[in-house]
Amino acid sequence: MLIALERHPIYRAVWLREAILGDEVKPPPAEIPALTDSAGESAEKALSIKDLLAKHRNVASCADCHVRLDPWGIPFERYNSIGQFQPMVPKDGVRISGFNKDAHKNLAGYQEYLTSINTVEVEAEARVPHGPEVTGMEDLKEFLIDKRMGDVADNVLRRLLTYGIGRELSFRDRFEIEKILKKSEKDQYLLKSMIIEVCQSTIFKNIQSKQK
């Protein structure tokens, strides 16, 4: 698809924290205003979603959650809503025409038209909580691998175990989880190793024995 599509860094931030890091992100309180409403008249002058979020964070009731959320979503900004790499976008307020055979002739002509109006570089810089400033997904990926791999592995393991034993994990399972993580760490948390450790774990074996 060639048309520029809207992104939403907040949804992406929530997805990353929940699906990748295993955090629990609570939904916003019902009384919290929408992004554009909280920014007020200044929203009309915001040139990018990053600017709009910055104005949103100036509202006291919004700041606490967004300080922990926004930096995880902004590095995704160079990918549009269907995941297509899109480092350049039109200037704020520019209307994008759909494909018109008379005007654009063919898809190559339409692509040339899109290139001509995509003149603004997408901002994807953010300082992650308790971490460095990152620019785009490559930097964010490096940070997660270097500093948060343990959290990612813990989340993957818990999901594997939950699926494997067919129930939610409980507080009593924590010792077995820690044991599996330590063994998996020796193989740099390779997925193959984690699956083997899960299958050999006491939690999994107990479930299998009860089913026989």
Separation of alpha carbons 13 and 121, rounded Å: 21
pTM exceeding the 0.85 threshold for the entire prediction: no
Average pLDDT, the chain: 83
Q: What is the mean pLDDT of residues 159-178?
A: 93
Q: What is the mean pLDDT of residues 93-113?
A: 91
Percent of all residues in the chain with a pLDDT value above 90, rounded to a whole number: 58
* CA 78 to the chain's CA centroid: 13
Residue 20 has pLDDT above 50, yes or no: yes
In terms of Cα–Cα distance, which of 201, 160, 208 is closest to 179? Answer: 201
Task: Please check whether residue 181 is in contact with residue 156, taking contact to mean a CB–CB distance below 8 angstroms.
Answer: no
Q: What is the mean pLDDT of residues 137-145?
A: 96
Residue-level pLDDT at 207: 78
Separation of alpha carbons 68 and 48, rounded Å: 19
Please tell me which residue, 208 or 96, carries the higher pLDDT value.
96
In terms of Cα–Cα distance, which of 75, 114, 70 is closest to 95? Answer: 114
Task: Please check whether residue 91 is in contact with residue 146, taking contact to mean a CB–CB distance below 8 angstroms.
Answer: no
- For every residue of 122-165, DSSP letters joined together read PP-EEE-TTS-EEEHHHHHHHHHHHHSHHHHHHHHHHHHHHHHH
Residue 142 has pLDDT above 90, yes or no: yes
What are the residue ranges spanned by the domains of the chain? 9-87+122-146, 149-211
Residue-level pLDDT at 68: 81
Cα dihedral 14, 18, 20, 23, rounded to 10, equals: 110
Residue 81 has pLDDT above 70, yes or no: yes
Separation of alpha carbons 11 and 101, rounded Å: 35
Q: What is the mean pLDDT of residues 102-126?
A: 92
DSSP conformation class of 47: -
Task: Please check whether residue 80 is in contact with residue 3, taking contact to mean a CB–CB distance below 8 angstroms.
Answer: no
The 3-state DSSP class for residue 147 equals helix
Question: Measured in Å, how far apart are the chain's first and last C-alpha atoms?
Answer: 51
H or E stretch covering 81: none
